[in-house]
Structure 1
Amino acid sequence: MTTAAAASEDYVPQNIMITGGAGFIASHVAILLCKKYPQYKIVVYDNLDYCACLANLQELFDAPNFKFVKGDITSPDLVSYVLKEEKIDTILHFAAQTHVDNSFGNSFAFTQTNIFGTHVLLESAKCCEYIKRFVHVSTDEVYGEGEDFDTDPMSEEHVLEPTNPYAATKAGAEFLVKSYFRSFKMPCLITRGNNVYGPHQFPEKLIPKFTNMLLRDIPLTIHGDGTNTRNFLYVTDVANAFDTIMHKGEPGHVYNIGGKNEIANIDVARALLKLFGKEDREQELITFVPDRKFNDLRYTINSNKLHELGWKELMNWEEGLKTTVDWYKQYSHRYGNIDAALVAHPRMLNTKQDVEAPIAEKLTGKAV
């Protein structure tokens, strides 16, 4: 993909499909776009897998420019039908299997969704006359491990060296996206983002998982020695980044979405203990468990290209973490029984949320 400066004129969409829009980041993007741009039609397409939750979109249910479609991105006929029926001109492709722990034990599902699903979406978009933007959501994990703390931040031109099955499928999907840009001139953009935290995240990931464990007074399980770091970015900042990239980004380009909060897992645990007023119980409430088969030390990315488009990080770590904890104290019940997600090495791919069916039926008018 090319690396020139962004186009001078902003792109203006009309009908936007957001795949995986009942999930974590994508639900915030759907809410932002639906409310900020009432002239845009927002079509959320989601198969309501275990980590999705229609309640994440509840505030949009009565919005005149919002529509929900229950569907799988690996279904070519349905994808093509929705693109043409809704006259979709813009695709924001978030739908994916994302949890690294799951990928070590259930990796075929990652290939099916992340690679084949992306291929279906690309091929359907290629055959749709309306498509003017295809934003593919990838991850900083495709770059592989930052080997030490002197590693320079990785720019968009860095060689991809994924180290786990999840990251490998995301890298594979990227190559498909790039091939459709080059061969078919499809107007594709790629994003690679840091770890995201905030409301709406299914409690298998570090911060919501530890928050829910502390709500139950369960000891936090730290993989390895806890020194692995991640750069955490608050979800509304990420939603703003996608707003910026969709409007100002240029097809053929890759954009890193990175924050400034590089924090070791053990320090995330300690920050949460402090928020719960349980810091004096650290010896009791932090326990170390066997590490993953391979656990990248750190990811560090250079986001200068995105900053040049006008985006900047607004939420500081302390405020973002407190806001997140307060949200889970009030809304954790929306995910039903999450006990299986709170074990040291969760495997959640065979879990479905039957509680979503009545809401989906109300939105779509069809039994699911």
Structure 2
Amino acid sequence: MKILITGGAGFVGSSLAIALKTNYPSYEIFCLDNLKRKGSELNVSRLTQAGITYVHGDIRSKEDFDSLPAVDAVIEASAEPSVLAGLDGTPDYLINTNLFGTVNCLNYALKHKADFIFLSTSRVYPIKTIETLNFVEEETRFSLTDDQPVKGVSSKGIAEDFPLDGARSLYGTTKLASELLIQEYNEFYGLRTIINRCGVITGPWQMGKVDQGVMVLWIAKHYWEQQLGYFGYGGTGKQTRDMLHVADLYRLIDWQLHNIDQVNGEILNAGG
């Protein structure tokens, strides 16, 4: 099998690539990345040492796909992942990468009849609707109740049928727009696709920042004995999220790659 992973030098992309190559040595894996995120260049040597082909390129550029070989599957893991991106009034890079870049990936997959696995985000769910949810305050955390004003949510968390009307963030909106396009390619072109709405992903080799990779940032803050800041809900820090280890995400992607007929066209939450 030949696989293209976009954003392949990033934390998630490189982790998936190396895990796939380790478990399937005969697979040919190509990682496309523009190395914009600081620290991603450190993964290039890890990829090449694992026998993976690194290609310096940008998903915003149609021409960068021309040099790529035909593949059997595309894992779209590239993104401008910051939830704060574009808030300074310059959203062009965010939109061109997360939306128009995905279109280039889709057209490449369509050209080669490759399966398409998209890493979306739980940030597609609108913030203001989430703020209306009922919860109880316990000693160490807030917990959702089963009695809720909208569908798609219970004490177990938010489901895929949670209402999508309303503002979320520029980042979440670009990913949701990409989801809609992917569904159209699936329906009208017959492209086999799967969309994974990932929660907070963490694991080895993640470079944590305030706006992305927060679990690693917290660990670093504790290690260096620095203070954590809490905001929202009174600043108590009782909000909770389930962390998705990148190794568990790999198990999901591995299964989907080899069983896509069973989940073709599906949208799934991955992590909390």
Fold shared per TM-score above 0.5: yes
Bigger Rg, which one? 1
In structure 1, what residue type is equivalent to 2:93? Answer: A
1:120 equivalenced with 2:125 (yes/no):
no
Q: Which residue of 1 aligns with 2:216?
A: 208
Q: Is the Cα contact below 8 Å between 1:31 and 1:57 reproduced in 2? A: no
Does the C-alpha gap of structure 1 residues 189 and 180 become closer, same or farther in structure 2, counting only changes over 3 Å?
Answer: same
Q: Which residue of 2 aligns with 1:73?
A: 59
Q: Which residue of 1 aligns with 2:116?
A: 134
1:159-178 paired onto structure 2 within 5 Å: 159-161=163-165, 163-178=168-183
Does the C-alpha gap of structure 1 residues 87 and 234 become closer, same or farther in structure 2, counting only changes over 3 Å?
Answer: same
In structure 2, what residue type is equivalent to 1:142? Answer: V
Q: Where do 5+ consecutive residues of structure 1 fail to align?
A: 1-13, 259-299, 301-368
Runs of 4+ residues over 6 Å off in structure 1: none
1:81-230 paired onto structure 2 within 5 Å: 81-82=67-68, 86-105=69-88, 106-126=90-110, 128=111, 130-145=112-127, 146=130, 147-148=133-134, 149-150=144-145, 151-152=153-154, 153-161=157-165, 163-204=168-209, 205-224=213-232, 225=235, 226-230=237-241
Higher RCO (C-alpha 8 Å, min separation 6):
1
Distance 2:71 2:267 in 1: 22
Q: Which residue of 1 aligns with 2:35?
A: 48
Instruction: State the secondary structure of the residue aligned to 1:222.
Output: coil
In structure 2, what residue type is equivalent to 1:97? Answer: E
Instruction: State the secondary structure of the residue aligned to 1:220.
Output: coil
Q: Which residue of 1 aligns with 2:137?
A: none
Distance 2:239 2:94 in 1: 24
Q: How many aligned residue pairs are there?
A: 240
1:18 equivalenced with 2:5 (yes/no):
yes
Q: Which residue of 2 aligns with 1:318?
A: none
In structure 2, what residue type is equivalent to 1:135? Answer: I
Greater helix fraction, Structure 1 or Structure 2: 1
Q: Deviations over 1:239-269 (max 9, x none)?
A: 11111122123321222212xxxxxxxxxxx
Does the C-alpha gap of structure 1 residues 90 and 52 become closer, same or farther in structure 2, counting only changes over 3 Å?
Answer: farther
Does the C-alpha gap of structure 1 residues 60 and 113 become closer, same or farther in structure 2, counting only changes over 3 Å?
Answer: closer
Instruction: State the secondary structure of the residue aligned to 1:61.
Output: helix
Q: Which residue of 1 aligns with 2:139?
A: none
Q: Is the Cα contact below 8 Å between 2:18 and 2:50 reproduced in 1? A: no
Q: Which residue of 1 aligns with 2:16?
A: 29
1:234 equivalenced with 2:242 (yes/no):
no
Q: Deviations over 1:320-368 (max 9, x none)?
A: xxxxxxxxxxxxxxxxxxxxxxxxxxxxxxxxxxxxxxxxxxxxxxxxx
After superposition, the CA RMSD in angstroms is 2.0
Shift of 1:103: 4.1
Q: Where do 5+ consecutive residues of structure 2 fail to align?
A: 135-143, 146-152
1:243 equivalenced with 2:254 (yes/no):
yes
In structure 2, what residue type is equivalent to 1:236? Answer: A
In structure 1, what residue type is equivalent to 2:91? Answer: S
Shift of 1:235: 1.5
Shift of 1:124: 2.8
Does the C-alpha gap of structure 1 residues 60 and 72 become closer, same or farther in structure 2, counting only changes over 3 Å?
Answer: closer
Instruction: State the secondary structure of the residue aligned to 2:9.
Output: coil
Distance 2:38 2:75 in 1: 18
In structure 1, what residue type is equivalent to 2:96? Answer: Q
Distance 1:231 1:138 in 2: 16
Shift of 1:234: 1.4
Distance 1:172 1:117 in 2: 12
Instruction: State the secondary structure of the residue aligned to 1:169.
Output: helix
Distance 2:168 2:252 in 1: 26
Instruction: State the secondary structure of the residue aligned to 1:223.
Output: coil
Q: Is the Cα contact below 8 Å between 1:156 and 1:254 reproduced in 2? A: yes
Distance 1:104 1:231 in 2: 26
**TM-score, normalising length from structure 1?**
0.61
Instruction: State the secondary structure of the residue aligned to 2:183.
Output: helix
Shift of 1:52: 5.0
Question: Which piece of structure 1 moves more, 36-45 or 131-140?
Answer: 131-140
Distance 1:123 1:222 in 2: 42
In structure 2, what residue type is equivalent to 1:15? Answer: K
Instruction: State the secondary structure of the residue aligned to 1:123.
Output: helix
